[in-house]
Amino acid sequence: MDCFCSKSGKKRQVTIEDLARHLGISKATVSLALNDSPLVATTTKSRVVEAAEKFGYQRNYFGSRLSKGKSDVIGLYILGGEEGECNWTLPSSWMFYNPILRSVSAELATHNYRCHFAVVSVEEATKQGAIASAIQEGSLEGMLLVVQDDIDYGFLEIVEERQFPFVVLNAKVRDNISSVKVNNELGATKMVTHLLEQGHRRIAYLGGPKMDSNAIERREGFLRSMAKAKLSPSPELLQYGDWQRASGWKAAQAFLALEEPPTAIFCGNDHMAIGVMQMLQEKGLTVPQDISVVGYDDTEMCQVVVPNLTTVRQPLEEMGTLGAMEVLRQIDEERVTATHTNLEPQLVVRESSLKLSSESIVV
Convert 42-98 into a string of H (helix), E (strand) and C (coil).
HHHHHHHHHHHHHHCCCCCHHHHHHHHCCCCEEEEEEECCCCCCCHHHCHHHHHHHH
Distance CA 318, CA 75 (A): 18
Which of 196-210 are b and which e, b meaning 16 or more Cβ less than 10 Å from the residue's Cβ?
A: bebbbbbbbbbbbbe
Q: Is residue 57 part of a domain?
A: yes
Q: What is the pLDDT of residues 319-335, one digit of tens each?
A: 999 999 999 999 998 88
pTM exceeds 0.85:
no
196 shares a domain with 173: no
- Helix (H) or strand (E) segment spanning residue 255: helix 245-256
Q: Is residue 333 part of a domain?
A: yes
Over residues 248-264, mean pLDDT:
97
290 shares a domain with 237: yes
Q: Is residue 266 part of a domain?
A: yes
135 shares a domain with 106: yes
Give the other-Cβ count within 10 Å of 249's Cβ. Answer: 19
Q: Is residue 2 part of a domain?
A: no
Cis peptide bond prior to 307, omega within 30° of 0: yes
CATH number at residue 55: 1.10.260.40
Over residues 159-187, mean pLDDT:
95
Q: Is residue 7 part of a domain?
A: no
Backbone angles phi, psi at 202, to 5 degrees: -95, 90
Residue 114: predicted pLDDT: 93
269 shares a domain with 192: yes
Residue 6: predicted pLDDT: 46
Q: Radius of gyration over alpha carbons of the chain, in Å?
A: 26
Q: What is the pLDDT of residues 275-290, one digit of tens each?
A: 999 999 999 999 999 9
Q: What is the pLDDT of residues 184-225, one digit of tens each?
A: 999 999 999 999 999 999 999 999 999 999 999 999 999 999
What is the three-class DSSP state of 32? helix
Q: Is residue 9 part of a domain?
A: no
Number of domains in the chain: 3
Q: What is the pLDDT of residues 8-58, one digit of tens each?
A: 445 556 777 788 889 999 877 887 888 777 888 899 989 988 988 888 776
299 shares a domain with 191: yes
CA 160 from chain centre, in angstroms, equals 18
Question: Residues 125, 149: contact at Cβ < 8 Å?
Answer: no
110 shares a domain with 223: no
First-to-final CA distance of the chain: 73
Separation in Å, CA 146 to CA 91, 118, 119, 243: 17, 10, 10, 17
111 shares a domain with 24: no
Distance CA 306, CA 225 (A): 28
Q: Which domain holds residue 167?
A: 73-182+316-343
279 shares a domain with 196: yes
CATH number at residue 148: 3.40.50.2300
Strand order in the sheet with 166-169: 114-120, 73-79, 142-146, 166-169, 178-182, 340-343
